[in-house]
């Protein structure tokens, strides 16, 4: 896992998330099954383009999974705020 992923995992662990969750051809950075929510940390080690991300998100949406993309720079700047943003998405469902 990248440093931003480690920082998020420290904050999301024990809150219903799985890390590096395999789903078909994809490996999701984080996944919460009860909310059908995939979290992708964008930047640093991710080489995918916006177009590829869009196709991936559309395929996941077709499976009933919503994707939340979090910039790695946001996690590095304030990991607590990034985690709170993610956890806030659970409360909205």
Cβ 72 vs Cβ 44: under 8 Å: yes
User: What global pTM score does this model have?
Assistant: 0.86
**Residue 46 above 60 pLDDT?**
no
What residue numbers bound the domain in which 11 lies?
3-88
Mean pLDDT value of segment 43-63 = 78
Residue 92 pLDDT more than 80?
no
**Within a domain: 62:** yes
Q: Where are the beta strands (DSSP E) in 1-49?
A: 17-23, 26-32, 37-42
SS3 of residue 32 by DSSP: strand
Structure tokens at 4: 């931003």
- Is residue 77 a part of any domain in this protein? yes
Residue 30 lies in a domain: yes
In a domain, 93, yes or no: no
pLDDT band of residue 43 (cuts 50, 70, 90) is confident
- Domains held by the chain: number: 1
Question: What is the tens place of the pLDDT at every residue in 11-35?
Answer: 999 999 999 999 988 899 999 999 9
Residue 56 counted as domain residue: yes
Q: What is the CATH number of the domain that holds 82?
A: 3.40.960.10
Residue 67 domain-assigned (yes or no)? yes
């Amino acid at each position: 896992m990248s440093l931003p992923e480690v920082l998020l995992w420290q904050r999301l662990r024990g809150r219903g998330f799985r890390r590096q969750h395999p789903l078909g051809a994809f490996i999701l950075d984080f996944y919460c099954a009860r909310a059908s929510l995939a979290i992708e940390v964008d930047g640093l080690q991710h080489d995918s383009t916006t177009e590829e991300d869009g196709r991936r998100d559309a395929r996941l949406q077709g499976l009933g999974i919503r994707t939340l993309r979090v910039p790695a720079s946001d996690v590095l700047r304030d990991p607590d705020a990034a985690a709170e943003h993610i956890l806030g998405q659970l409360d909205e469902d």
